Amino acid sequence: MIRGLLKQPVILLLSLLLTTLTAFALGQPGQDQLDMKIGQMIMVGFRGTTLQEAPDLMEDITKHNLGGVVLFDYDVPSKSPGRNIISPRQLRKLTHELQQASAVPLFIAVDQEGGRISRLKAKYGFPESVSAARLGQINIPDSTYRSALVTAETLDNSGINVNFAPVVDLNSNPANPVIGSLERSFSADPAVVTAHAAATVRALHAKKVIATLKHFPGHGSSTTDTHKDFTDISESWDKKELEPYRKLIENGYTDFVMTAHVYNANLDSLYPATLSKRIISGILRDSLGFNGPVISDDMQMQAIAAHYDLKTAIKLALEAGVDILLFANNSSYDPEIAGKAASIIRSLVDEGTFSPERIDRSYERIMTLKQKHLDLSP
């Protein structure tokens, strides 16, 4: 009873905060409440080391109330370095410009897992980082915490508030072209993965950086890469791959969970995980009890883009329970993707496919996470 009473002021405070932020954002030209909320459900990648070099992004922020951006050091479509990150000083300036341009603080995200998957590299002047595989081999969670704390401090100093880490995929297939062979997994043992993921999350939170568990429901057993095409794990996936999620959620984890584009006929015979209501709403939400925001992996990866048109992919992802659609713009590049996605979501509401209340649920999860970790003072 006491606990329930204590929750009421928190709920009222959050409600007041969301109302205030909504009103503040609506003060921007051309915004209505639904469009503003839809904008928060979109995260994009862009080209440019300054905001001046990214006029399309500036329009996304001011016109569409974009919820977040993801940064890269290398542009895959053009095969050129220096996409968003060239030095610590430049990166701090860029992230400051981004936040200054936005009515509501942005999620500014990066893949800084450690080892080979690091966008903030030593050659640009950032600290060296250690791979998850190496930390798992050492298997001392305190060492992982110290390593992750260096990463968290680097991100915080750079103005980055979301790390797309830790990877909680099990190293079920060491030859996996996108997980095991890149040393992205702590271990094949779910208990080891859980311990080191928990240490990583604690370190990120020490610097108010948001964590991301990925790739749900498990990508470690795959033999192909979802960046390139359809990836079927029906015969290789094991339910123990859910254990890190289960344990961390039981211990109160409410930051991001990122979906995988993997297909598992035993969990859903029709759709890959990102588009599967059975997997996201059924397993992650209902069975595991996750209440935080779900973010998709890059919707432009070929496992999705080669098999579904944009409207169908967005519709299925939202039906499945995804809260934020990620368009990294680094498999293919479309400077208008945020506006296209926002327009599609709005049309799905206007035509009655989704109710405004469905948008509200995602918006509230997103803003609750922003309120917890970011400075939301208007």
Residues in the chain: 378
User: Is the full-model pTM beyond 0.75?
Assistant: yes
Q: Give pLDDT, residue 18.
A: 56
Kindly write down the DSSP assignment for every residue of 354-369, as one continuous string.
S-HHHHHHHHHHHHHH
Q: Is the pLDDT of residue 93 over 60?
A: yes
What span, in angstroms and rounded, lies between the C-alpha atoms of 170 and 187?
Answer: 6
pLDDT in tens, 369-378: 999 999 765 5
pLDDT in tens, 318-363: 999 999 999 999 999 999 999 999 999 999 999 999 999 999 999 9
What mean pLDDT do residues 289-298 have? 98
What are the catalytic residues? 227, 297
What span, in angstroms and rounded, lies between the C-alpha atoms of 120 and 88?
Answer: 9
Structural domains for the chain: 2-373 (3.20.20.300)
Give yes or no for a contact between 295 and 324, defined as CB atoms under 8 angstroms apart: yes
Q: Give pLDDT, residue 377.
A: 58
Q: What are the distances in angstroms from CA 57 to CA 45, 287, 336, 337?
A: 9, 38, 9, 10
Share the mean pLDDT of the chain. 92
Give yes or no for a contact between 27 and 20, defined as CB atoms under 8 angstroms apart: no
What span, in angstroms and rounded, lies between the C-alpha atoms of 311 and 352?
Answer: 15
What span, in angstroms and rounded, lies between the C-alpha atoms of 366 and 8?
Answer: 20
- pLDDT band, very low/low/confident/very high, at 29 (cuts 50, 70, 90): very low
Q: Give pLDDT, residue 228.
A: 77
Please measure the distance between the N-terminal and C-terminal CA atoms of the chain and give it in whole angstroms: 34
Beta carbons within 8 Å of 354's beta carbon, 6+ residues apart: 318, 345, 348
What span, in angstroms and rounded, lies between the C-alpha atoms of 367 and 67?
Answer: 10
